[in-house]
Structure formats: structure tokens, C-alpha cells
Amino acid sequence: MASEEGPAVRVERALLSPHDKTGLETLARGLAELGVELWATGGTRAALTAAGLSVRSAEELTGIGAWFGGRVKTLHPALLGGILAPRTDEGHRELRERGLLPFDLVVVNFYPFEQHLRDSPEATDREEYVDIGGVTLVRAAAKNHAGVAVLTDPSEYEPLLTELREHAGAVSARTRAHLARRAFQRVAAYDAAIAAGLLPPATGDDPFPSTILLEREPLRLRYGENPHQPAAVYRATGGFRSRPFEVLKGAALSYTNLLDADTALEIVSEFPLPAAAVVKHATPCGVAEGTTLREALDRAIATDPVARFGCAIAVNRPMGPGDTEALHGVFVDLLAAPEVEPAAREALERRPKLKLVRTAPPSVDHSRWEARTTFGRVLVQEADRRQIAPGEFRPMTSHRATPEQLCSLDFAWRVVRHAKSNAIVLAQGPATVGIGSGQPTRVKAVELACEVAGARAKGSVLASDAFFPFADGVEVAVRAGVAAVLQPGGSLRDPEVIAAAEKAGVAMYFTGWRVFRH
């Protein structure tokens, strides 16, 4: 990239060929008022002419119209030469000799490949949405930003018009370099989306793409994990689907707000019935299903009255006015729901510190990547979407859980895989009564879960995200009154662990696979 220092360039001639015409008329009218000569391709020219603007046709220069149904329209030396010609004496001489006109401003955005991919994931005509001419024009203008400004997004229109008005129709070298940088980034993101979305996804032993491009989103975070840490949000482009969300009320979100909300939404997506998840520090401290959302909220909030302070809550059903009553007396920092009914919205507006977010929980069968950083590198893995089947409950003791306890074990297993290891979940029916997580030893996690549950531990069931390395964790659970245990198994001391459960008359089941989460 050339230096951002240099002479300003007066914009005398502009080429307009954007697919998305948002804000285009305002831009074109502002350019015309500054005396800029406007040139445009067919559809763009027709739209601007209908708005009463004087616009010359690019076909006057190319003489080819639109070949092959529009596939070849702007790929012509008359346009590319006018953009790429160096702004030197030699360059101007050659422009005159060839009868070409220099363009000082290029306004282009692309066929909406990414939007088509999102709207029609099964479409077979994706190739028709791959822009060739527009990308070529943008690359040419960005390369020659020493003499050309390029706009690739409607958000750039007004700032450029302001600069032109304040500087007698000229644009600075710094602005041209900035716009060129954005243009190259847009081309890179567009090409990445095509590379990932044009052909079937990779399968087999290596499903990961060779390149992942991150694009910064306009969402501004208040701070990172701590107020002294700046933070930003990036979206993976190239076929990766992001869950949309909208902040309905409250202060700007923080880094930890997003982590907590995502964890809570992932949890409630596990359940077909109305469900609520209470999350602190990106790990659950209360989860429940109910016949109604209000019932699920009451149960989830009741799990841990201490840990829930300043929590994030997600639900998988629209919030109604009666549901908000469950939050009375509970300090909730963030609430995420697929929809909020007007009466519920009115009630939540009276909570000044609440951040209200509208977003749907993810589908359990929607694969997703997870990423973390280490050693200055990015670790990527497929999200854990594996569902436990009834046949995977392998009984290891002579005692058997009741049908109700088996359902509760299934519920606890769905929750424990979202808690930080070492993780233990105690449940009564479809509701947690105690959660212990993030402990250095498994026995400590059991002790913490039993302490939170108190008397509710009696008759509860327990799910463990990984095997018990010793019998001590099971012995603690037995003393608290746990009636059934579900764990992966696989420890060298499995016989001792099973024997402890057998001696206590506790049903124990192995899954054969773990749901460990750091």
C-alpha cells in the first residue's frame, strides 16, 4: 500500500455500477452538484436517469452493451484503462492517444453472493451470483488509489461527500488509501465466501477450510473481560453462518455479555419444551424445562440464589407478560429471547440496568465451529452437537433408575456439557438443583454441587462430564442422597467407582464418551 501522504485528487469523473443502490441517488446528486461528470452501467444509469439526473452510459466508451446476459459488461479496456492509467504525464499522454477518459471515483458493490447463500442454502444457481466485472473494477481502482477513490459500501458515501464539499471537490491521499484498504478487504471477504459456498463443503478426515477470513462487525463492545481491555467482534466469512441478534434495550454489550448469552442460548437449544438457562461466567448455574416458560424460569432461577446475581438468562420461547414476573427480585444483567411481547417489553423497560437481546436459539442440528486462541494461533473445533441416545445408557450396577430418573439423567447430561470442567450437575426431574463446575478436582465439583443443592440433593440424579478418577466423588454424592449417576466411564479405577455405587444401592450408567469443556 502506497503512502497515505500525498496530494489531494479532484474528482471530475465518476463511474457508478453498484448492485445495491441504497443511498446511490443521494450520492449521485451530491456529486453532480459538485460538478462531477457521472457515468454508469445500464441498470444504474436507468435508475439515476429516472431520478432526473444526467448520467452518461458506459456503453459509449465500451461499445459492447451487455454480452452473454450481462456476464461481460464492464470487462473492457475503455473502463479499466481509465481507472488503471497512472496519473503521470506519460499516463495522461497514453489516455489521450487511446481516446480514453480517466475516472477519479469508482462506486461499485457486488452481486449478493453471501445473501443468496444465506437465503437459499440449497440453491443450485450459486455461480450466477459470482460477480466478475464489479470485483475487477474495484481491484483496479484500489490498486490505483494514488489517483482514484473507490467506494464499495453505502456507509462510505456520506463521509466522502462531506470531504468533497469541504475541500472543493478533492479527496485526500489518506482517504483514498483508507477506501482502498476497505475495498481490498471486501474483495477478500467476497472471494472467501465464494470459495466456501460455491462448492459442496469438505468431507472426510479434514472438514476444515484452508483459510478463514474474519470481518469486523460494526457492533462496539464496552470492553473485554475487564474494563481496561478493549475488545471487538469479528464474523467469519466464507459460508460460515452467524446467529443474528438485536439489542432491544440497555447499555452496549461487553465481551463477557456475549460469552454468557451464547452459552445460555446453546443450553436452551437442547430442549424441545419451554426452557430457561441462567448463566454466570459462561457456565450454567440454573437450567430447567417446564410445561410453560414461566415454570421453566421459576425452576432455573431457584437453582442457585447466590450465583444468579448479575446473571444472563436465555429462553427458547417468546417472553410474555406473565413470564417477566419470574424475574422479580432477581438482578439480571442480560436477557435473551426469540421474541418479547409488547406487554412483557413494557415491564422489562422498567428495569434500567437490564440488557435485552432478541435472538433465536441455535438449532441442535446446525453445525458450528468454535474457536479460541493460543500461542498467537487460532484453535478451531466443531461444536459438540452429539446427542445421547437411550441405548447409550449402559448400566454398570445391578440397580436400575426409574423411567423418571432416566429422563432426568438425560436432562442433566444435556446441561453438564455446557458447564466448565470439572463439571457436575444434580437434577430433580427436568430442573437442576445443584451445579459444580470449573474445579481442579472432580470431587470438589461434586462437593460444590451438593452444597448448592442442600436438601434437594436427596433423590436427585447426577451427571458428570468426564469419568470419576476415584471413588471419592461418588461417595460424596451418595452421602448427599443422590440416587443415580451418569458418567462417561473409562477410568483405570472404574471397578472401584462402580463398587462404591453398587454398595450404596445407586444406579450407575456409562455413556462411553465425554463432554469435557475447558
**Taking a C-beta distance cutoff of 8 angstroms, is the pair 285, 267 a contact?**
no
Q: How many angstroms separate the CA atoms of 249 and 354, rounded?
A: 7
Residue 331, in any domain of the structure: yes
Pairing verdict, β 170-171 and 149-151: unpaired
**Taking a C-beta distance cutoff of 8 angstroms, is the pair 443, 473 a contact?**
yes
62 and 173 share one domain: yes
- Which cell numbers in the block locate residue 437? 463446575
58 and 192 share one domain: yes
Domain tally for the chain? Answer: 3
Residue 372, in any domain of the structure: no
Report the amino acid identity of residue 71.
R
Q: What is the CATH number of the domain that holds 425?
A: 3.40.140.20
Residue 370, in any domain of the structure: no
Q: Which of 313, 337, 358 is the last residue of a domain?
A: 358
From the candidates 21, 178, 249, 281, give the one annotated as an active-site residue. 281
| 143 counts as catalytic | yes
| 281 counts as catalytic | yes
73 and 189 share one domain: yes
Instruction: Tell me the three state secondary structure of residue 115.
Output: helix
Q: What DSSP assignment string belongs to 323-361?
A: GGGGGTT--EEEEEES-B-HHHHHHHHT-TT-EEEE-PP
| pLDDT, one tens digit for every residue, the chain (518 residues) | 445 678 899 999 999 999 999 999 999 999 999 999 999 988 899 999 999 999 999 888 888 877 887 778 788 888 999 999 999 999 999 999 999 999 999 999 988 877 776 666 666 777 777 888 889 999 999 999 999 999 999 999 999 999 999 999 999 999 999 999 999 989 988 887 787 777 655 555 677 777 777 878 888 999 999 999 999 998 876 556 678 889 999 999 999 999 999 999 999 999 999 999 999 999 999 999 999 999 999 999 999 999 999 999 999 999 999 999 999 999 999 999 999 999 999 999 999 999 999 998 776 444 578 888 999 998 988 888 888 988 899 999 999 999 999 999 999 999 999 999 999 999 999 999 999 999 999 999 999 999 999 999 999 999 999 999 999 999 999 999 999 999 999 999 999 999 999 999 999 999 999 999 98
Alpha helices in 369-425 (DSSP H): 403-416
pTM across the whole model: 0.78
Instruction: Tell me the three state secondary structure of residue 218.
Output: strand
30 and 155 share one domain: yes
Q: Which of 332, 358, 384 is the last residue of a domain?
A: 358
Scan for cell 471419592, then name that residue: 472
Q: Which of 170, 197, 224 is the last residue of a domain?
A: 197
**Taking a C-beta distance cutoff of 8 angstroms, is the pair 323, 297 a contact?**
yes
From the candidates 19, 143, 249, 399, give the one annotated as an active-site residue. 143
Instruction: Tell me the three state secondary structure of residue 449.
Output: helix
Distances, alpha carbon 446 to alpha carbons 301, 450, 506, 508, in Å: 20, 6, 16, 15
Structural domain range at position 430: 392-510
Q: How many angstroms separate the CA atoms of 333 and 357, rounded?
A: 11
412 and 330 share one domain: no
